[in-house]
Amino acid sequence: MKKHSDSLTSTQLAIIIMGTILGVSMLAIPRAIIDKVGNAAPLASLVGIGLSSIGLLGLIYLGKRFPQHTFIGYNKIILGKTIGSLFMIVYLMLSVILIGLDTRQFAEVLVGGLLPNTPIHFSIFFMLLLCAVINYSNVSTFAYIHFFYLPLIILPLLVVILPTFKDIEYYHLLPINGHNLSLNGFMSGVVTMMGGISNYFVISMVIPYLKNPKKNAKGGIWGFFIGTFLVLLLNTVALGAFGDQKILEMMWPTLVLARMVEVPGEIVARIDAIFIISWIFAVFTTLLSYYFIVVRGVAEMINSKNYRFISVGTFLIAFLIALIPSDIYDVYNYLLFLWVGGVIFYILYVILLVVLAKVLRKKGSAV
């Protein structure tokens, strides 16, 4: 691909990754992991972060080796046009499905927690429409949107997490390796965590737009570890405050944590409402990154600059996918399946690309 006139800094890259990781799953991921491993949730989350970093480092390595190419481009160079395109079709299809399911999850939470009288179709439609009308021809605009919304995501999250430290019962966190937990059981929690934070893969589509792609490691690593640390902190606080048994009675533990926060002087009556609004911003930035992957990826595959047409097509497909689950339980069943299957596919595939690039001595042109 040719270098575009707009470019990103390493700090913008870090912000994009943080804004993408801190998204839809923030409400449900504590319960999903604790359901698998109980008291071992913090340890499983930590191991999941460590294993996910393998995929991150692989993408950073490929970004340095192919500084002018996105994930789409260097796939074709390493595997050949036909095989590389087939794998990329699968990758882009998974991204579209995640757009649909994450939007449905957003709509279910919105109807259940903030706007109970709003038809769920409206929430799905307007969130997808908001993502679809963004100008994807300018990567800088994409970065500025993430930059603007990140403080509105992180600050309310910290307002929820930090005050609830006083409610932690430390015996809820023991034993740290769980109660009679098998290795397979533990790894199921690890993979769930990996799936919940796997959206850092957006890095593979933005590295070529960095001012210096060969120095992308710093921004990518900082963004990944800050974002995942906040998720780890959230999982730990939720377990410590409620315990592994009580938390299984909750659909969205993070929302319950927000309801526990008391502001001195009762200046703010409902922190949970403010948190949901903040969470909506987080959903938007995550979906925006998925949209960016799909729109720019499809455009590169078919060698087109008609981003608006591709964006509208993505909107229609994602809207139909969002209507498939019958309820929120169906949504989470689909998501957990995709998280497990998707993260294994992503990580193994990146490792395969790294190995083949080295063995076959494939390399992109310098910037």
Predicted pLDDT of residue 365? 61
> What sign has the CA pseudo-torsion 65, 69, 72, 73?
negative
What is the mean pLDDT, run by run of 10 residues, along the chain of 367 residues? 66 94 86 94 96 94 91 93 92 94 92 80 94 90 94 90 89 90 93 91 91 77 94 94 92 87 60 83 94 95 93 97 93 87 89 95 70
Quote the CA–CA distance of 66 and 323 in Å, as a whole number: 39
Would you state the structure tokens that stand for residue 248, as one six-digit string? Answer: 């299984």
Which domains does the chain possess? 12-167+180-359 (1.20.1740.10)
Q: Which of 43, 37, 44 is nearest to 181 (CA)?
A: 37
Predicted pLDDT of residue 3? 47
Q: Which of 178, 193, 167 is nearest to 39 (CA)?
A: 178
Contacts of 29 (CB under 8 A, 6+ apart): 192, 193, 196, 231, 234, 235
Classify residue 42 as exposed, middle or buried by CB count within 10 Å of its CB (0-12, 13-18, 19+): buried
Contacts of 207 (CB under 8 A, 6+ apart): 13, 59, 60, 63, 67, 70, 213, 216, 220
Predicted pLDDT of residue 343? 87
Predicted pLDDT of residue 2? 43
Looking at beta carbons, which pairs linking 358-362 to residues 24 or more positions away fall under 8 Å?
360/78, 362/65, 362/74, 362/77, 362/78
